[in-house]
Structure 1
Amino acid sequence: MGRIRLIFLWFVVVDKSFCATIPLGDEDVHKELCLTKTCIQLTSQLFDNMNLNADPCHDFYEFTCGNFVRTKEIPEHKGLVDGFERVNNLFEQQGKALLEKEQSEGDWEIFKHFRTHYKACMNESAIEEKSLTLIKTKLESLGGWPILKGEDWSDEDFYLEDYLVTAIQEGFRSFSLFEISVEIDEKTNDSHVIKLDQAMFGISREFLAQGRQERTVQAYRKYMNETAQHFGVKSENLDELDKVLDLEIELAGIALSRENRSNPILRYNEFIAEEIPSTIVPSWPQLMQKIFQNETITGEEKVVIKDLDYFRNLESVLEGYSRRNLANFLGWTMIKNLDSYLDSFILDKKQELEAILKGKKSQPLRWKRCVKAVGFNNYDPKSFQIGVGSMHVLEYFPPKAKEIVEDMLRRIRATFSDLIVNSNWMDDATIGEAQAKLDRMDQMIGYPDELLDEEKVTSLYEGLENYGAVGVAIGHEITHGFDNSGRKFDLDGKLRNWWTNDTDKAFDVKKECLVDLYEGFEVKQVGKNVNGRLTLGENIADFGGVRSSHMAFEKYLTENNETQVLPGLPFTPLQLYWIFFGQSWCTVARDEKIRDNLLNDDHSPPQFRINGPLSNYEGFAKDFGCKPSDQMVQETQCRIW
């Protein structure tokens, strides 16, 4: 719902410097025609994107985005282009300006680190000269890469526990066989706990699980060969990479699928360290003590395993591979995790792989890659995303804009409260718990105040001792607090079942309506249907966001007794609200990107993020005068919130 909020703001907060009042006949409301430069530009944009010959009650996506889909060209370095392209480009340009700006007296000290990181990324000559040597040195510190060393490598010196400890001491936080981290304990929400998870894979687990014959897996195998040869591996030794790929495929086969990873119950399995159900290392407490040297780790240390079957089956998988196979696998995954920082040859080969995976035909400009690497437009927690957020807010985000959005969200929270109270499928006890949870939710709009606190932001990047820092709170989108995953956390953010049995069963029935609805949606461009279970949480949030924000806007119109319209558009304010909402999701994508998203993205394709919720909401049908027989009015209405 985060993007819906922004579009909601975009429509309501229009420049009022020049408006003409137009009476609406018998209606006790006034339209104001906005004739500012901004409003004229918005009108032009709407005309450019819309297909005014389409019937909004038949296919609203075609109506609001039809011309965009037919005329918009996808940049060579992207797999898709969407309604957020202009905002993303502006954000990149602003990030570039901030990172290339000289450090001034008033800047936070940590901003210097971000700028240093950016400059290092932009130093292509140093990367060309040194990157391979640096990685080879790292590999050598771990005992060497067998496929590269050939007969000079001996398995007598290879011990998995030592390898893993040395890897983290060398700065590699992500392990190849499994992930280890420290995060908030969902059962208490006021302490931290060590967590173990499945491995990070070189390409999506969902592709690997389909086996060697899958097209993207074959492209990945080719990339492995080309990268290894560039590192100096002899042609006669490349067959050793077959075992590396076999192991990665087997690990993907025992890993939890993407759609099941959204279930917080499946991902919370509590053990003590000495009873972890895997003996791939001699002693888990000893391994953890070596990793977290500033803490005392005993056999009684609480550990949460996010993928229990993975750890139960990990040892049996590894039994089929020699120490040399395992060391080759670990070496390869280290290279793969760092390939974005390597020379132009590797980047070119990686781009060829990306062309198969996501349809990208070229690399982005160097500065764009480096701006993202630092943290702008980057959701990778290993980047400086929170810190550069502070950097951006201080320069570009006016406090007044935050005040306006906070007022919008106050209204939306109130209407969502109405949705809870008026739910006819929830009993009184669960309604009370849900209302208490909504009331307890923190509201962080635009940015949390902590983002302007230098000391708090800087502390996130200081030392391994702060391993417990996890970043920003989950759930700024209200409805996500009550979707299939969020509903399993109570008002204190603790993983706890607060639903009565009858209401719990009623929720399950309602969610199956949504699953069936979305699994019936076909993306005709590639001839594949949406995965209704993978996208369930986002679909629930889309439905709740559409309904609550629209109801809030209706109340805004009533309370203010006036609103604005754009010149040359014969639409009511409420119709314009829907058009702006729809245009935020206008998208053109390459076939490869669509297939990748259908397999790996927990969001539905954009046309169904529009037509799905709107065809199940009577408010949309009322605003456009749609009849029960129209395609944008579902015969069986799905609704949770």
Structure 2
Amino acid sequence: MQLSLLVIVALFGIGTISCNSIHRTFSNIKLQADDSEAAKKINEKAAANAFSYDVCSTPACIHEASRILSQMDETIEPCDDFFSYACGGFVKETVIPEEKGLITIFSAVSDKLQEQLHSLISEEINPNDSAPFNLAKKLYRSCMNKTLIEERGLQPLRDITDKLGGWPVVKGDQWDMKTEWSWSWAVKELRKIGYSTNYIFDLSNKRIINIDQAGLGLRREYLIKGFEDKVVKAYYEYMVDTAVIYGADRGLAERELKESLEFEMKLANISLPSEERRNYTALYNPHTLRELQQKYPYVQWIEYINALLPPELSVEENEIIVILVPSYFEKLSQLLQDAPKRQIANYMMWRVTADSTVYLTNELRNRKLLYDKVVSGVQEQTARWKECTDITRESLPVAVGALYVRKHFRQESRDIALEMVNGIKKEFEVILNEVEWMDEETRESALKKLGTMYSHIAYPDEFMDDSEIEKYYKKLEIDENNYLSSFLNKNIFGTDYAFSKLRKPVNKTEWVTGRHSYAAVVNAFYEPTENSIQFPAGILQGHFFSPDRPRYLNFGAIGMVIGHEITHGFDDKGSQFDLNGNLVDWWQPETKAHYLEKAKCIIEQYGNFTEPMTGWKLNGINTQGENIADNGGFKESYRAYQKWQKENGHEPKLPGLNYTPQQMFWISAAQSFCSKYRLETLKMKIATDPHSPGPFRVLGPLSNRQEFADDFNCKLGAPMNPVKKCEVW
């Protein structure tokens, strides 16, 4: 029996069909013929023809079609440059605002979220509301009160630095702490006030205390270049001008802060570069405090750590401490011995001052802007309401996230996202069973790790319970009339809470841990020490997700993100942790060798990419984890959509977009990385960011996927279908 195209047209019609009434009639029409190859091809061709007449006409689909088309450049050959094909319109039409260094799809969705949050936290304080929600409104108000901030001027910080003996370069000959001042005393005082303790070295709690090399005021990648580097020079001038604003003599500031910067450069030079911090096993060096004291006697470790812990906690000499970079602490001894106290004090007070600038006067903020222009190319200050909204969200993520999900989040989005997560995890399970280079013992361990990977979707249930949120914030105070003080109170609260987890076992379902409490952000995370993935409510909107549109768009956008985070559990870093989040080598040597060879292919592929705007090559080593995750994310989500479509039938096209569902998947996925950069920001990203720039997050993974080449009929040897392809998972 043969079925003509006219019959198919009669069955399906030529008009439009609503997304919510996608029919599956064709899937039930079968040729009454044998299973010959010819009959099979006729069936497939008839299916494709039938699909071509389905068009989704809902308002959501019309909106999506317009948005997608506006970002594309269909004059580009997709097999030559799919980033320009999918994002050419975005790049051409996007104007980077003066206050930003880049615009991406992520930042565009974040802008919408920012407006949603602003409408919530800028409302009047209601004494009948739960206290944590008013804390957020108070912090926002304290930030917005520019009049009061200007009236107080520099005094709030002067009061703080005076408690620390003062900033020597500002005090001049009046600095009278030459003998009694010590950096360790200053760190303890900074902890009490609410500042970072991470100026000489870092001490943090990951259920066990870690000590690590110092965080720096400027990234190591710049500092090691020396004073001739453009960014380092701008950093030095920023230091000097800031000291002068505080009352320092310019000549003295130029001399002494050059010495301070030399001290910071020495800290940078004894620090490990990012490329050497990817092997967690090499960074895991446990010692008792007794042993630590013997190895590095220049710190009284028990007394030092106890001074930083909350009052209810203490350590003794048998406490296990993890030293991440032993070589740093070995070299730090001589560095601290050689540096005069005044030089170290100038450095630390500079860092305190720089960390405070955003909370103080316009004069300081405007000087910082001159520095930011050199580093990232931004030309203006961010609008005050935007800055205050972001600071409030970052400072009080639980309170602000709870407000957001109660007002703006749809429960059905959570359900659909969870269904997608489970489907994509299932595809990764199939991939683990398919890979030929794994031995069975390693495969079994990998499957167990995947099976126990915990998913946090949208927000914790506790966000709907005022009493739980009140219990969490009960020790925090915010003064709407004192911005800097409120910020420092928040820091003390957060540090105390982090240390309260010392020695406690990891609980993957605990709602206020790490990033679990981040609902109002446009991002997603994998936490290796928990073996858990997080997809906050903030990313389940806009380009990335909607329950009202065809699934190929969701699988392409948020589906790729889901696959990306799952794959992080098996990238070069995540693969070092077992199913319980413990640092355990669960790989058999031969399989590990195969894995490293495949990772090497990714490293070399991306390391050979040249970014045209800068002329710089990408850092294939530093970006390998994110690149492996990108490649896995595209593959897993594509396969999950194929399976979903097989089970649920064909979806309709979008109006004006004559593409198959598979092609729309790739377009949606690629548009997740539409981006436009200022030159300075792009240079900074290539030098320091573990993510590749947007174009290469499209060109790399898609050129490695044969499914993409097949869906767009790319000839072998075309730029998007090279002969040599890289694949880890």
Match of 1:340 in 2: 358
| AA aligned opposite 1:346 | L
Match of 1:187 in 2: none
Aligned length, in residue pairs = 614
Question: 1 CA distance for matches of 2:626 and 2:234?
Answer: 31
Q: 1:19 to 1:488 in 2, by over 3 A?
A: closer
Listed as ranges, the matches of 1:353-372 within 5 Å are 353-372=371-390
1:156 and 2:174 equivalent?
Answer: no
Q: CA deviation at 1:607?
A: 0.8
| AA aligned opposite 1:411 | G
> 1:18·1:36 contact (CA, 8 Å) conserved in 2?
no
| AA aligned opposite 1:215 | K
> 2:298·2:333 contact (CA, 8 Å) conserved in 1?
no
Deviations 1:238-281 (A, max 9, x none): 11111110001110111121233333223322122233276474
Secondary structure in 2 matching 1:276: helix
| TM-score, reference length from structure 2 | 0.81
Match of 1:608 in 2: 696
Deviations 1:80-131 (A, max 9, x none): 1112343111111011111112345774321221211111111111211225
Match of 2:31 in 1: none
**Which piece of structure 1 moves more, 452-461 or 467-476?**
452-461
Question: 2 CA distance for matches of 1:91 and 1:280?
Answer: 50
Listed as ranges, the matches of 1:78-157 within 5 Å are 78-104=100-126, 107-154=129-176, 155-157=178-180
| AA aligned opposite 1:478 | I
Question: 2 CA distance for matches of 1:577 and 1:255?
Answer: 43
Match of 1:284 in 2: 301
Question: 1 CA distance for matches of 2:88 and 2:416?
Answer: 32
> 1:209·1:249 contact (CA, 8 Å) conserved in 2?
yes
Unaligned runs of 5+ in 2: 1-16, 27-43, 476-492, 502-512, 517-526, 534-564
Q: CA deviation at 1:70?
A: 2.1
Listed as ranges, the matches of 1:352-431 within 5 Å are 352-375=370-393, 378=394, 383-431=395-443
> 1:515·1:536 contact (CA, 8 Å) conserved in 2?
yes
Question: 1 CA distance for matches of 2:370 and 2:710?
Answer: 49
**Which piece of structure 1 moves more, 202-211 or 548-557?**
202-211
> 1:261·1:267 contact (CA, 8 Å) conserved in 2?
yes
Listed as ranges, the matches of 1:448-467 within 5 Å are 448-454=460-466, 457=469, 461=473, 462=475, 463=493, 465-466=496-497, 467=499
> 1:483·1:540 contact (CA, 8 Å) conserved in 2?
yes
2:269 to 253, 262, 279: 253
| TM-score, reference length from structure 1 | 0.91
| AA aligned opposite 2:703 | S
Question: 2 CA distance for matches of 1:429 and 1:15?
Answer: 49
> 1:519·1:529 contact (CA, 8 Å) conserved in 2?
yes
Question: 2 CA distance for matches of 1:365 and 1:635?
Answer: 49
Match of 2:5 in 1: none
> 1:148·1:234 contact (CA, 8 Å) conserved in 2?
yes
Q: 1:85 to 1:195 in 2, by over 3 A?
A: closer
Q: 1:468 to 1:521 in 2, by over 3 A?
A: farther
Deviations 1:539-568 (A, max 9, x none): 010011000000000111111112121111
> 1:387·1:458 contact (CA, 8 Å) conserved in 2?
no
Q: CA deviation at 1:577?
A: 1.0
Match of 2:539 in 1: none
Match of 2:222 in 1: 207
Unaligned runs of 5+ in 1: 1-13, 184-191
Match of 2:648 in 1: 560
> 1:174·1:200 contact (CA, 8 Å) conserved in 2?
no
Relative contact order (C-alpha < 8 Å, sep 6+): which is higher? 1
Match of 1:471 in 2: 514
Question: 2 CA distance for matches of 1:624 and 1:165?
Answer: 61
Q: 1:459 to 1:610 in 2, by over 3 A?
A: farther
Q: CA deviation at 1:402?
A: 0.3
Secondary structure in 2 matching 1:220: helix
Larger Cα Rg: Structure 1 or Structure 2? 2
Secondary structure in 2 matching 1:303: strand
Match of 2:596 in 1: 508
**Which piece of structure 1 moves more, 359-368 or 79-88?**
79-88
| AA aligned opposite 2:392 | V
Q: 1:573 to 1:124 in 2, by over 3 A?
A: same
| AA aligned opposite 2:515 | V
Question: 1 CA distance for matches of 2:459 and 2:51?
Answer: 34
Secondary structure in 2 matching 1:444: strand
Q: 1:169 to 1:493 in 2, by over 3 A?
A: same
> 1:521·1:530 contact (CA, 8 Å) conserved in 2?
yes
> 1:182·1:195 contact (CA, 8 Å) conserved in 2?
yes
1:536 and 2:624 equivalent?
Answer: yes
Deviations 1:269-298 (A, max 9, x none): 212223327647441111112222322321
Listed as ranges, the matches of 1:433-448 within 5 Å are 433-448=445-460
Q: CA deviation at 1:472?
A: 3.0
Q: 1:526 to 1:168 in 2, by over 3 A?
A: same
> 2:187·2:197 contact (CA, 8 Å) conserved in 1?
no
**% identical equivalent positions:** 32
Q: 1:371 to 1:265 in 2, by over 3 A?
A: same
| AA aligned opposite 1:334 | V
Listed as ranges, the matches of 1:629-640 within 5 Å are 629-640=717-728
Match of 2:74 in 1: 52
Deviations 1:483-525 (A, max 9, x none): 0000111111111000111111111111000000000111011
Q: CA deviation at 1:193?
A: 1.4
Question: 1 CA distance for matches of 2:438 and 2:445?
Answer: 11
| AA aligned opposite 1:472 | R
> 2:126·2:134 contact (CA, 8 Å) conserved in 1?
no
| AA aligned opposite 1:555 | K
Question: 2 CA distance for matches of 1:249 and 1:103?
Answer: 47
1:623 and 2:711 equivalent?
Answer: yes
Question: 2 CA distance for matches of 1:223 and 1:22?
Answer: 69
| AA aligned opposite 1:226 | D
